[in-house]
Structure 1
Amino acid sequence: MSIKVNLDQMLEKRNMKSNELADAIGITTANLSILKTGKAKAVRFSTLEAICQVLDCQPGDILEYVKE
């Protein structure tokens, strides 16, 4: 099983750059990059909430379960 991160697609839909999102939610661009590439082992609910608030989306718009 695998969790796919669709953050790039949401950023594109909102015409927003990664560094703008990182600044808006208060994390480093390096940590946002780790999340975007799917290399993160976990994500805090507070971070997920902030991303959803800024991008005006639902967690399911960002995270997707993919059967392998």
Structure 2
Amino acid sequence: MYLACLYAENFRIFGAAPQKDGDKDASLSLDFGPATNVLVGENDSGKTAIHRCDPPVPADDRG
């Protein structure tokens, strides 16, 4: 089992999805692959926020 995608809205540094034309999309949408995925970025760019969005995996599902 792996996390295939992650969507965050109004969580930590990620804001709302656009409500009308011309609005900025501040939400986050990521697609992950079944292999290793690495998050790289500058300080305060949202790496820890992404980590905290990740739902915990039950111990018996860790493969």
TM-score, length-scaled by structure 2: 0.34
Where relative contact order (Cα < 8 A, 6+ residues apart) is larger, the structure is 1
